[in-house]
């Protein structure tokens, strides 16, 4: 193994100056063919595509070692895959706030998921992201029952396609007021009710830090229900740097110690140079 630098930005005035420490890790290069890391990483396109030109972002991600991208515009998929990256996630259905917890949405959502499963098979997409929707006065027990019913309608299609439906955990305190799937226990109960290897949770570390904390214990206890992870610094949803409260090296070591074989997706809004933030985050999570 070869020592390679890890970048932690120290804010000096308005500039981010890399502070380099060293850790024994693989040679840093394109893709993950030489990787000795347990953690496979992806990046959310919406966070970085507005800060970098498309060709530059694809080239940087491949050079750093990212396996693929998430939630990228469909028209960019050929360019992304030609650049050596995979399409890791895409949306499973329309409308985050008007989702699976309402029975009247199930017909529409089933059609949308079936259509997107076809695309996922064609492009080798790992997972479709699905949403509970907002409560709008619906009791949690009722919303849970309805969400499980909606996912049960499409679980066979997901199983046949070999694509995982990941129900995203989001915070209802800061970013998504009234969203129903806002605690791990609620989401895990949905997964247990559906009882399918292709229906799991998208455990967003940033969102769950806001709602419940206790990240490492929670992910260890619920890893069988987790099909994907997202990251971001808290507070602020920015870089995984020394200004935020989450200990991402420890969190990623905890993930790597489980039998989890999915991806960890970087989903933060960069405050400084996006390419530096992407490289720093990759190094921090490269366990």
Q: Are 9 and 16 in contact (CB under 8 A)?
A: yes
- The catalytically annotated residue of 70, 112, 239, 267 is 267
- Rounded to 10 deg, the angle between the 248-256 and 274-285 helix axes is 50
- The catalytically annotated residue of 112, 168, 239, 279 is 168
Name the token pair of 269.
């809004």
Q: What is the DSSP string of 8-77?
A: EEEEETTEEEEEEEEEEE----SSSTT---S-EEEEEHHHHTTTS-HHHHHHHHHHHT--EEES--GGGH
Q: How far apart are CA 46 and CA 264, in angstroms?
A: 16
Could you report how far apart the first and last alpha carbons of the chain are, in Å? 13
Q: How far apart are CA 88 and CA 111, in angstroms?
A: 21
- Could you confirm whether 118 is annotated as catalytic? no
- Rounded to 10 deg, the angle between the 184-194 and 215-222 helix axes is 10
Nearest alpha-carbon partner for 280 in 271, 206, 227: 271
Residue 217 parent element (H or E): helix 215-222
DSSP state of 169: P
Q: What phi-psi label fits residue 221: left (phi over 0), alpha (psi between -120 and 50 degrees) or beta?
A: alpha
- Could you confirm whether 110 is annotated as catalytic? no
What residues act catalytically?
Answer: 168, 267
């Amino acid at each position: 193994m070869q020592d390679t630098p890890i970048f932690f930005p120290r804010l000096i005035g308005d500039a981010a100056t890399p502070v380099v420490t060293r850790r024994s890790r693989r040679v840093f290069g394109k893709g993950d063919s030489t990787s000795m890391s347990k953690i496979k990483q992806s990046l959310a396109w919406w966070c970085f595509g507005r800060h970098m030109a498309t060709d530059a972002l694809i080239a940087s991600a491949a050079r750093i070692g990212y396996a693929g991208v998430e939630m990228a515009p469909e028209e960019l998929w050929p360019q992304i895959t030609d650049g050596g990256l995979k399409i890791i996630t895409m949306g499973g259905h329309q409308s985050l706030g008007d989702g699976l917890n309402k029975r009247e949405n199930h017909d529409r959502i089933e059609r949308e998921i079936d259509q997107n499963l076809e695309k996922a098979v064609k492009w080798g997409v790992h997972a479709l992201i699905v949403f509970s929707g907002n409560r709008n006065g619906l009791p949690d027990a009722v919303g849970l029952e309805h969400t499980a019913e909606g996912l049960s309608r499409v679980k066979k299609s997901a199983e046949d396609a070999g694509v995982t439906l990941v129900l995203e955990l989001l915070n209802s305190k800061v970013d998504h007021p009234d969203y129903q799937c806002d605690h791990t226990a609620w989401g895990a109960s949905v997964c247990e009710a559906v009882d399918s290897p292709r229906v799991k949770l998208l455990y967003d570390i940033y969102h769950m830090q806001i709602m419940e904390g206790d990240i490492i214990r929670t992910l260890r206890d619920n890893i069988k229900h987790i099909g994907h992870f997202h990251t971001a610094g808290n507070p602020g949803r920015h870089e995984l740097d020394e200004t935020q409260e989450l200990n991402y090296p420890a969190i990623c070591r905890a993930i790597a110690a489980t039998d989890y074989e999915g991806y960890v997706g970087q989903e933060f809004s960069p405050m400084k140079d996006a390419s530096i933030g992407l490289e720093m985050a990759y190094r921090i999570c490269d366990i």
